[in-house]
Amino acid sequence: MNVQSRFAGSALAMALACGWVAPAMAQDAAAPTVADELAAMRAQMQAMASRIETLEAELEAAETNIDQVAQQAAAAPAIPAPAAEPENEIEWKGAPKVSGKGGWTFKPRGRAMIDAGFVSAPDSTGVSDGFGSEARRVRLGVQGDMPGGFGYKIEVDFAGDEVALTDAIVTYKDGPVKVTVGQHNNFQSLEELSSSLHTSFIERAALTDAFGFQRRVGASLEYKAGDVIVQGGLFTSNSADLPEKNWSADGRVVFAPKAGSTQLHLGASAHYRDLEAGSTVRYRQRPAVHFTGTRFINTGSFSANSETGLGLEAAMIAGPFHAAAETYWQSVDRGAAFADPTFFGGSFEAGLFLTEGDKRGYKGGKFDRVKPANPVGEGGMGAFQINARYDRLDLNDAGIIGGTQDGYQLSLIWTPMDYTRLMLNYSRLSYDDAVFPAAGGDTSYNVDSLGIRAQVDF
């Protein structure tokens, strides 16, 4: 029996039960017959059955579509989830520099300078000369920034199998103002403040070493506005000499404008150092290389209450050409019992790059890194530079005969890439009143020195 027959029978039974059907003899002639009602029911049932078939067809089609979409999704390549933002960023600046969230940075730093060469003095002086070599500087350290404008730098030198602290500072910078606390350079001389990585000769001008320019423990302030830099600070002594009661006040002013593409530099510095009772000072200098311990000019030690220094600086960088000059006067207060001597140092240098597009670097009131326009490794030959310098040091005054030294120097520098240099220096040193007399007691003679350096830093 089909669905329609079962549905019709049920409907008929319900109609009879409800009294909808009366005996035929009592039925009104105008009322619909049972046959008419059954025909109407069958029509409704057929419509319902047709609707059910349509719904079943639509359901079957929907299920087919779902299966197809699922198959396509399974066959499609997986879409990777978005990568998480890295916690740290790393860039290369001679060594990896790591930058973290919140303003933290960290960078290892270091340098190695290996020197060798010759010193030739008159045999009759009896001084030890000839070949010499040394690890001039071997430094390792770290530097970086901290949140809130703070920074740090720590560096230690291992040259000569000794451990010496060079820089150990904490800095704070807010706009044009920078505060530095710890062991760092006080503000004397353009060449002294320029890193040894960026000088034009193996050794700086004689005045910087002779007058004891070195890092000292102290606190300083720097203000920079446009082309003007003002620096000043209070210092004690180098960390290796502490504890002691000596202190100094140092200041420097720099005006560094540009005239077209030419960088200009004018500067002046002042230094006052108070020495504790019973102190002595000594001023002396090597013959333009460091691997010899011989000093042909030397004041010897003498008593001093204080020292005062005044310096002037001038420089220019015009394309491949540069020139720089410095003068410095160092006066010593010896008290009422002695005359006060004033010693002098000065230098003038000029240099020229032989390779196209290269020039000397300059930044923040001092010379900076040379970056070859065509470095080795990128199809170029690096940067070649020649330099000449006249260097004067006078340690004679007020009855103190330390001698005079006039240096005539040439250098050739090859910078294959940003962080490597090879240097060759020749110096002719002319002495008067030298410490070591030659034959017949002659203290006026010449000494030659030749130095080479292999250098790398990061």
- The CATH code of the domain that includes 204 is 2.40.160.10
- Going by pLDDT thresholds of 50, 70 and 90, the confidence category of residue 41 is confident
Is 146's pLDDT higher than 90?
yes
Residue 10 DSSP code: H
Give the residues across from 384 on adjacent strands. Answer: 414
Q: How many Å apart are CA 271 and CA 62, to the nearest integer?
A: 92
CA distances from 6 to 12, 13, 16, 141, 414 (A): 10, 11, 16, 99, 109
Count the alpha carbons within 13 Å of 193 in the hemisphere toward its beta carbon: 22
**Which of 209, 183, 180 is CA-nearest to residue 196?**
209
Q: Is 148 a domain residue? A: no
Q: Is 224 a domain residue? A: yes
pLDDT at residue 23, rounded to an integer: 41
Instruction: Give tens-digit pLDDT for 262-285.
Output: 999 999 999 999 999 999 999 999
Please state the pTM of the whole predicted model: 0.80
Q: How many Å apart are CA 235 and CA 245, to the nearest integer?
A: 11
Q: Is 71 a domain residue? A: no
- Other beta carbons within 10 angstroms of residue 194's beta carbon come to 21
Pairwise pLDDT comparison (38 vs 262), residue with the higher score: 262
pLDDT at residue 37, rounded to an integer: 75
Per the CB < 8 A criterion, the answer to whether 86 and 99 are in contact is no
* Residue span of the structural domain in which 332 resides: 113-135+187-457
pLDDT at residue 20, rounded to an integer: 36
pLDDT at residue 51, rounded to an integer: 75
Q: Is 285 a domain residue? A: yes
Is 419's pLDDT higher than 80?
yes
Is 340's pLDDT higher than 90?
yes
Q: Is 30 a domain residue? A: no
Is 95's pLDDT higher than 60?
yes
Tokens 């990128």 belong to which residue?
378
Q: Is 44 a domain residue? A: no
- Other beta carbons within 10 angstroms of residue 134's beta carbon come to 16
pLDDT at residue 147, rounded to an integer: 96
Tokens 């760092």 belong to which residue?
184
**Residue 443 phi/psi, 5° resolution?**
-110, 15
Q: Which helix (H) or strand (E) holds 70?
A: helix 34-75
Q: What would the mean pLDDT of 336-364 be, rounded to a whole number? A: 97
- Going by pLDDT thresholds of 50, 70 and 90, the confidence category of residue 333 is very high
Name residue 238's amino acid: N
Is 18's pLDDT higher than 50?
no
Q: Using DSSP bridges, classify how beta strands 383-397 and 366-368 pair: parallel, antiparallel or unpaired.
A: unpaired
Count the domains in the chain: 1
Would you give the end-to-end CA distance of the chain in angstroms? 98
Q: Is 59 a domain residue? A: no
Q: How many Å apart are CA 240 and CA 217, to the nearest integer?
A: 10
Q: Is 354 a domain residue? A: yes
Is 244's pLDDT higher than 50?
yes
Q: How many Å apart are CA 74 and CA 183, to the nearest integer?
A: 66
Q: How many Å apart are CA 230 and CA 73, to the nearest integer?
A: 69
pLDDT at residue 16, rounded to an integer: 39
**Which of 54, 50, 44 is CA-nearest to residue 8?**
44
The alpha carbon dihedral of 284, 288, 289, 295 has a sign of negative
